[in-house]
Amino acid sequence: MCGIIGYIGCQNAADVVFKGLKRLEYRGYDSAGIAVIVGNKLQIRRSVGKLCNLEKELKRDPINSNIGIGHTRWATHGKPSEENAHPHTDSTNSIVIVHNGIIENYAELKLKLQKEVRKFSSETDTESIVHLIKKHYDKDLFKAVLKTLKELKGSYALGVICKDEPNKIVCARQDAPLIIGIGKGENFIASDVSALLPYTRNMIFLENGDVAEITEDKVVVKNIENSIQSREIKNIKWNAMQSEKNGYKHFMLKEIFEQPRTIEDTFRDRIYPDDGKVCIEEVKFKEEDIIKISSIYVVGCGTAYHAGLVSKFLFENFAKIPTEVDVASEFKYRNPILNNKVLVIVVSQSGETADTLAALRLAKKNGCQTLAVCNIVGSSISREATYTIYTHCGPEIGVASTKAFTGQLAVFYMLALDLASKKRTLTNKELKRYLKELWEVPLKVNKFLSIAETVNDIAKFFEHKKNFLYLGRHVNYPLALEGALKLKEISYIHAEGYAAGEMKHGPIALIDEFMPVVAIAIKSKIYEKIISNIEEVKARGGVVIAIAHDGDKKIASKSDHVIYVPSTDEFISPIITAIPLQLFAYYISVSLGCDVDQPRNLAKSVTVE
Ligand code: M6R
């Protein structure tokens, strides 16, 4: 949550920082601001709401400088307002900061600082930091920041500049992501890689406890005790175009349409259908480690949690390993039974979700083997887990997770089949069959996307409905949850996902002509069961939109609308049924005029508890 960026070099810092903020806006979008140093004065522009408001402000009152910092906010302490927008300054307007994270002891710091007659002008936790830096300042910004950090409790990615030292940015990281971009005669800081891709692909991923001083031609990283730290410069493979809309109306639509490629990229060089082999280089479990695994916990939040729910079916059915799936915010407080025979798999697109990171740390503390499924290279979760399997999805900018979900499923299929192969719980023939099915998934998704408009045609009938039920069974039950989550987060329509067999235990009371039901009814061992559930809905005047396999003639007579998807094995089907669910939510959101990519109250990366 919240994005920060900083620049020092010979370009106009306000331009570079503003463009970077645009790429970070998905992290928070209730206010934004920029600070630069002009002459020996700080110049600050801030505004409430989206970046277009800040843009107007910058046009009305331009600023030009070679050094600047910027922030896009998702409010934690204090409502979205200009006073609470970052950057924040000390009372003498000498030092200015941007901050992502939460300062837990801000209230006591504030009380102390107020007694020392420091005037606060916002309700934020961040403002205490800048007053503290000013208090410790004695002609050396870096030292003042070091002294300040020793008094802070909580998480931060900080960018600080001072009008009396206009040739440097000081930055620091603790439990919030921060990257330094290395340019030629210019350097950058940012919350994530995508903000810097138009300028450089050479990046340093700061570690917790790092504090850095950045000038236009030098980067020095130290720890809080002022000792030099050596940090590798990594070359990032993503390119700037991947963070653009490329002609699509929304990032979400672009990301939905990217899925044939992202799924294929995630499988490439890892599955070999002809040989019945999976080879995931990143995972170095020995066969004896695998035999030792008594159970698996899969932990994540939101969409990542739903991918985890699908994985339970795969680990249990393919590899015969008992698997539990937990929402990260529950896992860490419920005292789960953890030991060195338990494998804990944390799933996170961003690799920065605070609850998932905490779950990973709990697992490590209890001696579990840990594995992360992540999209962002160098993210906190990927660095702390013993092994990380990356989804090769490229940057996901739309707040609603789409290609990351199918990427996570792709990883789970490979991992479950790999474990099954090593444990010999599937025959080589079965392995080959599943791998062949997986190999065909990108083609099938592509085929379905060529008729995406049919989903739009159906969505048009339902755009004014106030409630939806999503039903699924077995491996597609998590997809019912995911379909409902997609709809509610981007269109603000109330939607619930249910295991279809649960209908009779309560939810069927909701059925009438005003409650559309989306039923995932692909061919499977329990196809007839879901057909019965559909009949029960129809018998009570409900309206059914079924998602069914191509060629299923029966379903048309049972439902009001059918979305046909290419047929595949039932275990593999979720990676395909996900696509119509994503599109259905997308088209409804567009027709309601909602902000598809940046839905209200949300942020892409939830880095606070
Ligand atoms: O980055 P993560 O995968 O850890 O994020 C987890 C959730 O915050 C995320 O999936 C969220 O639920 C999405 N908005 C769903 O579309």
490-516 pLDDT, tens digit each: 999 999 999 999 999 999 999 999 999
Residue whose token pair is 């992540």? 374
Q: What interhelical angle do 574-591 and 452-459 show, nearest 10? A: 50
- Residue 117 has a pLDDT of 78
- CA-CA-CA-CA torsion sign (329, 381, 169, 242): negative
C-beta of 391 in contact with ligand 1 (< 6 A):
no
C-beta of 6 in contact with ligand 1 (< 6 A):
no
Indicate the SS3 state at residue 151.
coil
Question: What is the separation of C-alpha 448 from the centre of its chain, rounded to a whole number of angstroms?
Answer: 25
C-beta of 605 in contact with ligand 1 (< 6 A):
yes
- Residue 97 has a pLDDT of 98
Predicted TM-score (pTM) of the model is 0.89
Are 410 and 256 contacting, i.e. CB atoms less than 8 angstroms apart? no
**Minimal-distance CA residue to ligand 1 atom 11:** 302
Pocket mutation for ligand 1, best pick of 396, 606, 608 (most atoms within 8 Å of C-beta) = 606
Residue 365: exposure state from Cβ atoms within 10 A (0-12, 13-18, ≥19): exposed
> For residue 245, what is the DSSP state?
-
| Radius of gyration, alpha carbons of the chain | 25
Provide the annotated active-site residues.
2, 604
C-beta of 348 in contact with ligand 1 (< 6 A):
yes
Q: Are strands 187-190 and 3-8 parallel, antiparallel or unpaired?
A: antiparallel
What are 587's two structure tokens?
Answer: 């088209």
Whole-angstrom distance, CA of residue 606 vs CA of residue 354 = 6
What are 597's two structure tokens?
Answer: 């990519």
Give the Å distance between the CA of 409 and the centre of ligand 1.
Answer: 14
Residue 559: exposure state from Cβ atoms within 10 A (0-12, 13-18, ≥19): buried
Give the Å distance between the CA of 276 and the centre of ligand 1.
Answer: 33
516-538 pLDDT, tens digit each: 999 999 999 999 999 999 999 99
**Minimal-distance CA residue to ligand 1 atom 14:** 400
C-beta of 301 in contact with ligand 1 (< 6 A):
yes
Answer whether the bond into residue 574 is a cis peptide, omega within 30°: no
Whole-angstrom distance, CA of residue 22 vs CA of residue 30 = 13
C-beta of 482 in contact with ligand 1 (< 6 A):
no
> For residue 234, what is the DSSP state?
E
Cα three-residue angle 94-69-353, rounded to 5 degrees:
120
The amino acid present at 217, given as its one-letter code, is D
Q: Domain map of the chain by residue range?
A: 3-239, 251-449, 453-592
Give the Å distance between the CA of 349 and the centre of ligand 1.
Answer: 7
- CA-CA-CA-CA torsion sign (356, 359, 360, 361): positive
Whole-angstrom distance, CA of residue 32 vs CA of residue 25 = 9
Query: Residue 34 pairs with which residues in a beta bridge?
Result: 45, 70
Atom of ligand 1 nearest to the CA of 350: 1
**Minimal-distance CA residue to ligand 1 atom 10:** 303
Residue 23: exposure state from Cβ atoms within 10 A (0-12, 13-18, ≥19): buried
C-beta of 375 in contact with ligand 1 (< 6 A):
no
Which CATH code is given to the segment(s) 3-239? 3.60.20.10
C-beta of 598 in contact with ligand 1 (< 6 A):
no
CATH class of the domain defined by 453-592: alpha beta
**Minimal-distance CA residue to ligand 1 atom 9:** 302
Give the Å distance between the CA of 441 and the centre of ligand 1.
Answer: 23
Pocket mutation for ligand 1, best pick of 250, 301, 489 (most atoms within 8 Å of C-beta) = 301
Are 414 and 422 contacting, i.e. CB atoms less than 8 angstroms apart? no
Whole-angstrom distance, CA of residue 573 vs CA of residue 525 = 13
Atom of ligand 1 nearest to the CA of 605: 1
Atom of ligand 1 nearest to the CA of 399: 14
Give the Å distance between the CA of 404 and the centre of ligand 1.
Answer: 9
- Residue 563 has a pLDDT of 98
What phi-psi label fits residue 169: left (phi over 0), alpha (psi between -120 and 50 degrees) or beta? beta
C-beta of 299 in contact with ligand 1 (< 6 A):
no
C-beta of 483 in contact with ligand 1 (< 6 A):
no
**Minimal-distance CA residue to ligand 1 atom 7:** 302
What are 439's two structure tokens?
Answer: 């190999």
Q: What is the mean pLDDT of each run of 10 residues along the chain (609 residues)?
A: 94 97 89 96 95 95 96 88 94 96 94 89 94 97 98 96 98 95 98 92 96 98 97 88 87 97 96 95 86 95 98 98 97 93 97 94 96 92 95 94 98 97 95 98 98 96 95 98 98 97 93 95 95 95 96 94 97 98 98 94 83
Give the Å distance between the CA of 322 and the centre of ligand 1.
Answer: 25
C-beta of 380 in contact with ligand 1 (< 6 A):
no
**Minimal-distance CA residue to ligand 1 atom 6:** 301
Atom of ligand 1 nearest to the CA of 405: 10
C-beta of 303 in contact with ligand 1 (< 6 A):
yes
CA proximity to 574, closest of 379, 462, 441: 441
Give the Å distance between the CA of 348 and the centre of ligand 1.
Answer: 7
C-beta of 599 in contact with ligand 1 (< 6 A):
no
Residue whose token pair is 């005037």? 119
What are 2's two structure tokens?
Answer: 């919240």
What phi-psi label fits residue 374: left (phi over 0), alpha (psi between -120 and 50 degrees) or beta? beta
Give the Å distance between the CA of 534 and the centre of ligand 1.
Answer: 30
Cα three-residue angle 209-139-204, rounded to 5 degrees:
30
Are 304 and 408 contacting, i.e. CB atoms less than 8 angstroms apart? yes
Are 156 and 99 contacting, i.e. CB atoms less than 8 angstroms apart? yes
Within 13 Å, how many C-alpha atoms sit on residue 594's CB side? 27
Whole-angstrom distance, CA of residue 316 vs CA of residue 438 = 18
What phi-psi label fits residue 250: left (phi over 0), alpha (psi between -120 and 50 degrees) or beta? beta
At 180, give phi and psi (nearest 5°).
Answer: -110, 130
- Residue 243 has a pLDDT of 78
Residue 238: exposure state from Cβ atoms within 10 A (0-12, 13-18, ≥19): middle
Q: In what order do the strands lie in the sheet with 67-73?
A: 41-48, 31-38, 67-73, 3-8, 187-190, 179-182, 202-205, 234-235
CATH architecture observed for domain 251-449: 3-Layer(aba) Sandwich (3.40)
Give the Å distance between the CA of 513 and the centre of ligand 1.
Answer: 32
- Residue 116 has a pLDDT of 87
> For residue 522, what is the DSSP state?
-
- In this chain, the answer to whether the domains covering 251-449 and 453-592 adopt an identical fold is yes
